[in-house]
Amino acid sequence: MTAAAGTVQGSAPGRTGGTVARVVRRNAWTFGLAALLLVLFLVTRAIKPTYGAAELRSLAIGALPIAFAAVGQAIVVISGGIDLSIGSLLALTNVTAAALMAGGSEESAVPVVLFVLFLGLFLGAVNGLLVVASRVPDIIVTLALSFVWAGAALLVLKSPGGGTAQWLKGLIDGTIGSEWIPEALVLLVVSVALVWLPLRRSRLGLSMYAVGSDRLAAFRSGVAVAPTKVAAYAVTGLFAAMGGLSLSMSTGIGTPVPGPYTLLSVAAIVLGGVSLVGGRGGLLGPILAVFVLALIRADLTFLNVDPNFTTVVQGVIMVVVVMVGAFATLRRRTA
């Protein structure tokens, strides 16, 4: 020990390895989820041998709005916040799109889509600005605003209605290339990649992780904390708008009453390996988690389980998976 005085090893021995080993270690949770999804798919085939490409396609269509909500939620949680208004934002952008497109031509839907995306970005920024300016905890501000956005949705459309351009609906109801690749999945991957990949590589993306991980350390490192938070909320709003548009695509109408997307998005990010205290996680995990949850629900239906009991099972599975994950992390740390 005397000999070692003054010399400190930079990393623990045995933890070094190649890039591949590191990638696997860092993303163990995501790999585990992917494996779980594969197992679930095989189980589904075992339960219902006819489960095939068509069912996969409808699974992807059904999961699309939840996946967008989960992606949005993941971004704001990674940067140290939480957005409980995400379900209301989905509803508001959904009815706005449906109301504007009702009776319009196919071409006029293009500016509507752009407007709705911008609206999501704007409403998200409003969420963020109020959180930053009021210094009231995120959970309270966004809960309050969830009522505001839900009310606004009812002002736009009193009851389910409106319309959607045919080309929009056509975006997600087919497959591309192989019959095993649903268009809905491709749309999800492309739109998430278009926004997230450049962001992740930018200083803003780095700042989001930094602010979520440790506000003080980020502040001292020269990160502009408040603008970073506002930006994170704005991006979350953008994904909520994508979720709202995907609701238009799958239903063809606008529904002013928010669905269960807020809580489903939180469930998906927890299962997807995003730390609720911020700073840790990615977007692939939550997306995989959305499909895991959807597949479990489908399996339980195939098994003729009472639908009321299905939600109970879903909750139990979530708790177990998260506990197993926490236990594994604990083991690794003490080892």
Partner 1 sequence: MTDFLLEATGVAKSYGAVAALRDASLGVRPGEVHALMGANGAGKSTFVKILTGAVRPDRGTITLRGRERGMHSPDEARRTGLIPVYQEPSLVPDLDVLANLSLTRTPVAPFRGWVEDLGVHGLDLRTPARELPLAVLRVLDLARALAVEPDVLLLDEMTAALPADLTEHVMNAIRHQREAGRSVIFISHRMIEIAAICDRATVLRDGETVGVLDVTKGTEDQIVTLMLGPVATEPAATRTRPPVTPETLTGPGAPRLSVRGLVAGAKLQDVSFDLHAGEVLGIVALEGQGQDELFDVLAGAARPAAGELRVDGRPVRFGHPADAIRAGLVFVPANRAQALLMQRSVRENIALPFSAPLAGWGPIDVTGERRRINDAVGRLQIDTRAQSEVRRLSGGNQQKVTIARWVAGGVRTLLCFDPTRGIDIRTKREIYELLRELAAAGAAVLLYTSELEEIPLACDRVVVIFGGRVVDEMPAAGADEPTLLRAAYGLPPGALTPEEVVAEAVAIEEAEASPAAGGDGAVGEPREAVREPAPPAGSRA
Binding site for partner 1 (CB under 8 A): 1-12, 15-16, 22, 203, 206-207, 209-210, 212-214, 216-224, 279-280
Of 132 and 242, nearer to partner 1 (C-beta) is: 132
Q: Which two three-digit tokens encode residue 322?
A: 């998260």
- In the complex, what is the shortest distance from the CB of residue 234 to partner 1, in angstroms, rounded to a whole number? 21
Q: Residues 85, 143: contact at Cβ < 8 Å?
A: yes
Tell me which residue of 129, 137, 135, 140 sits closest to 85, measured CA to CA: 140
- In the complex, what is the shortest distance from the CB of residue 278 to partner 1, in angstroms, rounded to a whole number? 8
Q: Residues 209, 38: contact at Cβ < 8 Å?
A: no
Of 17 and 151, nearer to partner 1 (C-beta) is: 17
- In the complex, what is the shortest distance from the CB of residue 81 to partner 1, in angstroms, rounded to a whole number? 15
Of 148 and 226, nearer to partner 1 (C-beta) is: 226
Q: What is the CA radius of gyration of the chain?
A: 21
254 - beta bridge partners? 161
- In the complex, what is the shortest distance from the CB of residue 202 to partner 1, in angstroms, rounded to a whole number? 11
- In the complex, what is the shortest distance from the CB of residue 21 to partner 1, in angstroms, rounded to a whole number? 11
DSSP for 204-219 reads: HHHHHHHHHH-HHHHH
84 three-class SS: coil
Of 217 and 320, nearer to partner 1 (C-beta) is: 217
- Which residue do the tokens 């708008």 mark? 241
- In the complex, what is the shortest distance from the CB of residue 142 to partner 1, in angstroms, rounded to a whole number? 22
Tell me which residue of 296, 288, 291, 287 sits closest to 320, measured CA to CA: 296
175 - beta bridge partners? 182
Of 102 and 206, nearer to partner 1 (C-beta) is: 206
DSSP for 251-266 reads: HSSB--S--THHHHHH
In this structure, which amino acid lies at residue 19?
T
Of 31 and 41, nearer to partner 1 (C-beta) is: 31
48: left (phi over 0), alpha (psi -120 to 50) or beta: beta
The distance of Cα 263 from the centroid of its chain, to the nearest Å, equals 11
Of 25 and 45, nearer to partner 1 (C-beta) is: 25
- In the complex, what is the shortest distance from the CB of residue 25 to partner 1, in angstroms, rounded to a whole number? 11
- In the complex, what is the shortest distance from the CB of residue 16 to partner 1, in angstroms, rounded to a whole number? 6
Of 98 and 231, nearer to partner 1 (C-beta) is: 231
Q: Residues 204, 194: contact at Cβ < 8 Å?
A: no
